[in-house]
Structure 1
Amino acid sequence: MKIVDVCAFFAPRGGGVRTYVERKLVAAPARGHEVVVIAPGAEDRLEPRGPGAAIRWVKAPLFPLDTAYRYFNDRAALHALLDAERPDMVEVSSPWRSASMVAEWRGRAPIALIAHADPLSAYAYRWFGGVADRATIDRQFDWYWRHLRRLDARFDLVISASDSLSQRLRAGGLRKVVTNPMGVEANLFSPARRDAALRARLLARCGLGPEATLLLGVGRHAPEKRWEMIARAATMAGTRVPVGLVLVGGGRGGPRLRKAVAGNPHIRLLAPISDRSALATLMASADALIHGCEAETYCFAAAEATASGLPLITPDLGGAADQARAAGGLTFAAGQAAAAAAAIERFARAPITPTPPPLRTMDDHFDMLFALYAGEATALAA
Structure 2
Amino acid sequence: MKLVDVCAFYAPKGGGVRTYVDRKLKAGAAMGHEVVVIAPGSRDHVEHRGPNARIVWLKSTLFPLDFNYRYFSDIPGLYAALDREQPDFIEASSPWRSASVIADWPGAAPRALIMHADPLSAYAYRWLDPIATRPTIDTLFDRYWQHLLRLDTRYDMIVSASQGLSDRLTAGGLTRVVTNPMGVDPGVFSPTLRDEGLRAGMLAMADLPPEATLLLGVGRFAPEKRWPMLVEAVTAAGTRTPVGMVLAGQGRDRKAIERKIGENPHIRILAPITERSELARVMASADALIHGCEAETFCMVAAEARASGLPLIAPDEGGAADQARTSGGFIYESADAAAAADAVVDYATQRLAGLAGPRADLPPPRTMDDHFAELFASYEKIIAQHRQGLRAA
TM-score (norm 2): 0.95
- Counterpart AA for 1:17: V
Partner of 2:8: 8
Q: Given the alignment, which residue of 373, 377, 381 partners 1:371? A: 377
Give the Cα–Cα distance (whole angstroms) in 2 for the partners of residues 282 and 223 of structure 1.
24
What SS does the aligned partner of 2:346 have? helix
Give the Cα–Cα distance (whole angstroms) in 2 for the partners of residues 243 and 112 of structure 1.
44
- Counterpart AA for 2:379: Y
Deviation digits for residues 192-249 of structure 1, max 9, x if unmatched?
2221121111111111111111111111100000111101111011111100111110
- Counterpart AA for 1:165: L
Q: Is the 8 A contact 1:160 1:166 kept in 2?
A: yes
Deviation digits for residues 7-51 of structure 1, max 9, x if unmatched?
111112222111111111111111111111111111222222221
Partner of 1:237: 237
Partner of 2:190: 190
Aligned-pair identity (%): 62
Give the Cα–Cα distance (whole angstroms) in 1 for the partners of residues 365 and 235 of structure 2.
33
- Counterpart AA for 1:363: D
Give the Cα–Cα distance (whole angstroms) in 2 for the partners of residues 174 and 112 of structure 1.
14
Deviation digits for residues 318-374 of structure 1, max 9, x if unmatched?
000001011001111101111111111111111325795653001101111111111
Q: Is the 8 A contact 1:311 1:329 kept in 2?
A: yes
Deviation digits for residues 147-192 of structure 1, max 9, x if unmatched?
0010010000110111111111111111111111111122222222
Alpha carbons of structure 1 residues 144 and 52: separation in structure 2 relative to 1, 3 Å: same
Give the Cα–Cα distance (whole angstroms) in 2 for the partners of residues 205 and 221 of structure 1.
20
Partner of 1:305: 305
The answer to whether residue 281 in structure 2 is matched with residue 281 in structure 1 is yes
- Counterpart AA for 1:190: S
- Counterpart AA for 1:79: Y
Give the Cα–Cα distance (whole angstroms) in 2 for the partners of residues 103 and 6 of structure 1.
11
The answer to whether residue 334 in structure 2 is matched with residue 320 in structure 1 is no
Gaps of 5+ in 2: 389-393
Q: Is the 8 A contact 1:328 1:356 kept in 2?
A: no
Give the Cα–Cα distance (whole angstroms) in 2 for the partners of residues 29 and 374 of structure 1.
15
Give the Cα–Cα distance (whole angstroms) in 2 for the partners of residues 123 and 356 of structure 1.
35
| Structure-to-structure mapping, 1:116-135, within 5 angstroms | 116-135=116-135
What SS does the aligned partner of 2:376 have? helix
What SS does the aligned partner of 1:90 have? strand
Give the Cα–Cα distance (whole angstroms) in 2 for the partners of residues 240 and 85 of structure 1.
60
Give the Cα–Cα distance (whole angstroms) in 1 for the partners of residues 170 and 302 of structure 2.
24
Give the Cα–Cα distance (whole angstroms) in 2 for the partners of residues 359 and 310 of structure 1.
12
Give the Cα–Cα distance (whole angstroms) in 2 for the partners of residues 305 and 57 of structure 1.
32
Partner of 2:391: none
Q: Is the 8 A contact 2:43 2:60 kept in 1?
A: yes
Q: Is the 8 A contact 2:23 2:185 kept in 1?
A: no
Give the Cα–Cα distance (whole angstroms) in 2 for the partners of residues 73 and 121 of structure 1.
26
Q: Is the 8 A contact 1:327 1:357 kept in 2?
A: no
The answer to whether residue 31 in structure 2 is matched with residue 25 in structure 1 is no
What SS does the aligned partner of 1:8 have? coil
Give the Cα–Cα distance (whole angstroms) in 1 for the partners of residues 250 and 198 of structure 2.
22
Give the Cα–Cα distance (whole angstroms) in 1 for the partners of residues 124 and 344 of structure 2.
27
- Counterpart AA for 2:171: A
Aligned residues: 382
Give the Cα–Cα distance (whole angstroms) in 1 for the partners of residues 138 and 271 of structure 2.
37
Give the Cα–Cα distance (whole angstroms) in 2 for the partners of residues 120 and 357 of structure 1.
33
Partner of 2:263: 263
Q: Is the 8 A contact 1:230 1:292 kept in 2?
A: yes
Q: Is the 8 A contact 2:307 2:364 kept in 1?
A: no
What SS does the aligned partner of 1:150 have? helix
Partner of 1:205: 205
What SS does the aligned partner of 1:214 have? strand
TM-score (norm 1): 0.97
Q: Is the 8 A contact 1:326 1:356 kept in 2?
A: no
Partner of 1:345: 345
